[in-house]
A and B are shown apart, each in its own frame.
Chain A
Amino acid sequence: MTNLIEIRGVTHAYRTKTGPLQVLDDLTISVPEGEFCAVVGPSGCGKSTLTRLVAGLMKPDTGAVWLHGERVTSPRKTVGMAFQNPVMLEWRTILENVMLPLEIVAPRMPRADREARALHLLEMVGLMGFEGKRPSQLSGGMRQRASLCRAIVHKPDVLIMDEPFGALDAFTREDLWQTMRDLRAAEPFTCVLITHDLRESVFLGDQVIVLSGRPARLQYVLNVDLPADRSIDVLFTPEATDMLHLLRDQIRIAQGREAH
């Protein structure tokens, strides 16, 4: 199987008033096509920088990101993004928000087709009947669902998510994990998920990548050997608990503390 995302030897530093701040150090990650890659690490270690590099919004100082064997030098239409902030455009209805990427990526697509595609996704995430509402009329969890629809409406190869569930309460978050799982089963995309939640990384990920503290190096790769159609209950199995303990220890090491 080919690797859809190849991050090879990426090093990056920001210029700051007190000198260069190195955030990524010789980072190499591969994500095979269709896989779900969860990235965890101490806060401030450069995870968001990683998403911007994969999206082509920034160029690394050294090393390179490759998508489909092509070097990423600028943004491309085959990428979808979702953030912790759902970034809903308040002057548009939910349906119009979801259709936004199609206006850029497929400007010739007939409006009826765009609507059909957006409505199909809204139905999948349980937002049928809310398409005509304004974002301000929806709850945070519902806005985030709409944001996920918008991220994949143009059928991207790669979905990049930067802590999309971070601001939600625990139950809503678990609901959205399951929504994400269902979307993945229905839509073929390769996914990079930045998260602080180890349970989330194990529930959604095919591999979990632990980054070290800043500057971020690849510290540990965990292959999540759980069935694809997981239910939340899987998190309470001994296998999952072992994985969570292992990840917990790795995070401690990444934070510069002793492992248990």
Chain B
Amino acid sequence: MSRTQQILVPFAAILAFLGLWEIIVWVNGWPNYKMASPSDLGPAFWKYRAMFLEMGWQTLWRTVAGLALAVAFGTFLGMLMGFSALARAALYPLLVGFNAIPKATLVPVIALLFIGQHDFNTVLMAFLISFFPIAVSVGIGLSTLEPEYRDILRALGASRLTIFRKIALPKTLPEFFGALKVSVTLAFIGTNLVEIVSPHGRGLGALFKSGETNGDYPLMFGVLIALAFLGIVLYYGVVVLERVFAGWAERPQH
């Protein structure tokens, strides 16, 4: 695919999707209060532009903060599980069990624990929902490192830290970024869960809630599109980081 194609094709696909949406709403003759159509979204965005910017920023920074925590903690857990079979045996059931809990059930628990700490609660939820894939992939990446990779440095008397820094860490980067792509979208879900469910919330989730309360369907759909947009931005942010730090893992296509 040529460079222009790489840019044009995704845009064409998005336009086609919006067109299809518009047609379905038009054919069915759905009014605004049943299903908004893309042509309603422009005016909604314009009308609430200040809100979108403010709330969008709130959602964005909380998501990124939660994600940063998830990266730090997930990498730490992954290192524990990757280097120690004991830690792996102890942590895996706990982690899987925790991950299986629908995070919506944790919202009231967190809200009660930290009453009124809205920013903190939101960041915490984004973190809780997104560290699991990172921990698992880093753990697997480290524990499946072929012994020869360790031996070429260990035979020279290199310390465990040196082996980790020079070999294990860079070798795990492709798996890490794969997990980070999953975590990015998960963190978004976590942020919005709290923003929607908790009263007097802020962020795009709260804007969605207020749209629902006022029966403003174009606003609600506008929020969904804004969320999708932010998700795409963050996702491709990770892709750029991946290119920079793990671009070597991408084999040239023949």
- Docked CA distance A248–B251 (Å): 43
Asked if A134 lies at the interface with its beta carbon under 8 angstroms from chain B, I say yes
Given the contacts A91-B170, A100-B166, A134-B248, A85 and B156 also touching, CB distance less than 8 Å: no
For residue A85, which residues in chain B have a CB less than 8 angstroms away from its CB? 146, 148
Within 8 Å by CB of B148, from A75, A87, A101, A105, lies A87
Which B114-129 residues have a C-beta within 8 angstroms of A? none
| B148:A104 contact, CB within 8 angstroms | no
| A77:B156 contact, CB within 8 angstroms | yes
For residue A79, which residues in chain B have a CB less than 8 angstroms away from its CB? 155-156
Asked if B181 lies at the interface with its beta carbon under 8 angstroms from chain A, I say no
For residue A74, which residues in chain B have a CB less than 8 angstroms away from its CB? 157
0 or 1 for each of A114-154: is its CB under 8 Å from B? (1 = yes):
00000000000000000000101100000000000010001
Given the contacts A103-B166, A104-B162, A136-B251, A87 and B152 also touching, CB distance less than 8 Å: yes
Range, interface on chain A: 20 to 34
CB distance from A235 to the nearest CB of B (A): 30
- Docked CA distance A83–B249 (Å): 22
CB distance from A213 to the nearest CB of B (A): 24
Asked if A57 lies at the interface with its beta carbon under 8 angstroms from chain B, I say yes
Chain B residue nearest in CB terms to A134: B248
- Docked CA distance A87–B148 (Å): 7
Considering the complex of A and B, which 5 residue pairs feature the smallest CB-CB distances, nearest first?
A: A91-B248, A75-B157, A55-B155, A104-B156, A87-B148
For residue B26, which residues in chain A have a CB less than 8 angstroms away from its CB? none
0 or 1 for each of A84-119: is its CB under 8 Å from B? (1 = yes):
010101110000000011011100000000000000
Asked if B151 lies at the interface with its beta carbon under 8 angstroms from chain A, I say yes
* Chain A residues within 8 Å of B, Cβ to Cβ: 52, 55-57, 74-77, 79-81, 83, 85, 87, 89-91, 100-101, 103-105, 134, 136-137, 150, 154, 160
| B171:A89 contact, CB within 8 angstroms | yes
Range, interface on chain B: 20 to 34
| A75:B154 contact, CB within 8 angstroms | yes
For residue B167, which residues in chain A have a CB less than 8 angstroms away from its CB? 89
* Chain B residues within 8 Å of A, Cβ to Cβ: 146, 148-149, 151-158, 162, 166-167, 170-171, 173, 246, 248-249, 251-252
For residue B157, which residues in chain A have a CB less than 8 angstroms away from its CB? 74-77, 104
For residue B146, which residues in chain A have a CB less than 8 angstroms away from its CB? 85, 87
For residue A91, which residues in chain B have a CB less than 8 angstroms away from its CB? 170-171, 173, 246, 248-249
Known: A83-B152, A91-B171, A105-B156. 4 other contacts (CB 8 A): A75-B154, A75-B156, A91-B173, A104-B156
Chain B residue nearest in CB terms to A162: B148
- Docked CA distance A154–B249 (Å): 28
For residue A137, which residues in chain B have a CB less than 8 angstroms away from its CB? 252
| B248:A150 contact, CB within 8 angstroms | no
For residue B149, which residues in chain A have a CB less than 8 angstroms away from its CB? 87, 89
Within 8 Å by CB of A101, from B156, B248, B249, lies B156
Chain B residue nearest in CB terms to A87: B148
For residue B252, which residues in chain A have a CB less than 8 angstroms away from its CB? 137
Q: Name 5 interchain pairs, CB-CB below 8 A, sorted by A.
A: A77-B157, A83-B151, A87-B152, A101-B156, A150-B152
For residue A103, which residues in chain B have a CB less than 8 angstroms away from its CB? 166
Chain B residue nearest in CB terms to A54: B155
| A104:B248 contact, CB within 8 angstroms | no
Chain A residue nearest in CB terms to B173: A91
